Amino acid sequence: MPEGDVVLRTARRLTQALADGPLVRAELRWPSVAGYDLTGRRVLETVSHGKHLLTRLDDGRTLHTHLRMEGTWQIRRTVTPPEPWRRHTVRVVLATARWTCAGISLGMVDLVPTEAEHTVVGHLGPDLMADDVDVATAAANLRAQGGRAVGEVLLDQTVAAGIGTVYVAETLWTLQINPWRPAAEVEDPEAVMRTAAFLMRRSADARTMTATGDPRPGRDTHAYGRADRECRRCGTPIREGRLGRPPTDRVTFWCPRCQPR
């Protein structure tokens, strides 16, 4: 599932592409919103909140979308005659005279009043990709989880929004915290949240998305996806495990020497 860095990049791309004029094409291929016509409306901006996208329109409404596991937004030059986008996986098509944005395999599409955006994202914890991240609240949410494994807690979007399996592994490796340490026993939960926010923001702002700051192939992570390869810090083979309980358990990676249980 795309994480906060990818979603923020997507929000920026949509804002740039749709800012040059009114919508000349607006197709919502989702049962609950299929009857709405947005043609002629202008897109003010698209912002991210965790893993959610909020596309704000000039008529006081917001198009809320979520990429889920496989969703993407494709952006192409608008052509004449219009590209049909016949694939059944196309959920949304928004186009200005210059650019066409197609939401592919989106997992969620809603249309809500902009003033009511809280109805679709209000249940989430602080947005770790926000310019002014509420680190204190996110840290308090983490500490309040008591005996739950910190790695599992970080995946809980009601604790803090935006972090997923990649940045759970990278954050905990950076701070040398075992993924199964009880949340209440984490010495500095604010450092955990600051680190996660920093790593994702750095990736979102870089030319190439990277959890390490190093854009070279094979150097984009310290722990995630590196099972049985040597730890970049101590040389011990990285291990792979599961956080949570089936069927909602998620993969994680850690160094048994740097991050002992």
Question: What do you get for the CA distance between the two ends of the chain, in Å?
Answer: 27
Tally of CA atoms within 13 A in the half-sphere of 43 that contains its CB: 30
State whether 57 and 141 are in the same domain: no
- The reported pLDDT for the residue numbered 218 is 83
State whether 182 and 241 are in the same domain: yes
- Could you say which of 12, 25, 42, 250 is catalytic? 250
Given a cut of 80, whether residue 115 has pLDDT beyond it is yes
State whether 152 and 87 are in the same domain: no
State whether 70 and 116 are in the same domain: yes
- Could you say which of 3, 27, 152, 170 is catalytic? 3
Given a cut of 80, whether residue 30 has pLDDT beyond it is yes
Q: Which of 86, 121, 156 is the last residue of a domain?
A: 121
Report the C-alpha gap between 54 and 65 in whole angstroms: 7
82 is catalytic: no
Give ∠ CA 115-94-7 in degrees, rounded to 5: 65
3 is catalytic: yes
> Exposure of 11 by Cβ count < 10 A (0-12 exposed, 13-18 middle, 19+ buried)?
buried
Percentage of residues of the chain with pLDDT beyond 70: 100
| C-alpha distance from residue 236 to each of 59, 223, 227, 251, 254 (Å) | 57, 11, 11, 19, 10
State whether 89 and 197 are in the same domain: no
The CATH code of the domain that includes 164 is 1.10.8.50
- State the average pLDDT over residues 136-159: 98
Q: Does residue 163 belong to any structural domain of this protein?
A: yes
**pLDDT one-digit tens code per residue, 221-258:** 999 999 999 999 999 999 999 999 999 999 999 999 99
Whole-structure pTM value: 0.94
Owner of token pair 């994680």: 252
Given a cut of 80, whether residue 175 has pLDDT beyond it is yes
Total domain count for the chain?
2
Q: Does residue 60 belong to any structural domain of this protein?
A: yes
State the chain's maximal CA–CA distance in angstroms.
61
250 is catalytic: yes
45 is catalytic: no
Neighbour tally for 9: CB within 10 Å: 18
Q: Which of 121, 149, 177 is the last residue of a domain?
A: 121
Q: Does residue 129 belong to any structural domain of this protein?
A: no
Reference 125, options 49, 233, 68, 187; nearest CA is 49
**pLDDT one-digit tens code per residue, 192-221:** 999 999 999 999 999 888 899 888 888 899
Q: Does residue 126 belong to any structural domain of this protein?
A: no
Report the C-alpha gap between 231 and 254 in whole angstroms: 9
Here the tokens at position 118 are: 């809280």
Q: Does residue 39 belong to any structural domain of this protein?
A: yes
SS (H, E, C) the chain: CCCHHHHHHHHHHHHHHHCCCCCCEEEECCHHHCCCCCCCCCEEEEEEECCEEEEEECCCEEEEEECCCCCEEEEEECCCCCCCCCCCCEEEEEECCCEEEEEECCCEEEEEEHHHCHHHHCCCCCECCCCCCCHHHHHHHHHCCCCCEHHHHHCCCCCCECCCHHHHHHHHHHHCCCCCCEHHHCCCHHHHHHHHHHHHHHHHHCCCCCCCCCCCCCCCCCCCCCCCCECCCCCCECEEEEECCCCCCEEEEECCCCCCC
- Could you say which of 9, 27, 51, 152 is catalytic? 51
- The reported pLDDT for the residue numbered 1 is 76
Find the domain containing 222 and state its range: 135-254
Return the bridge partners of 112, or none: 62
State whether 84 and 163 are in the same domain: no
State whether 204 and 230 are in the same domain: yes
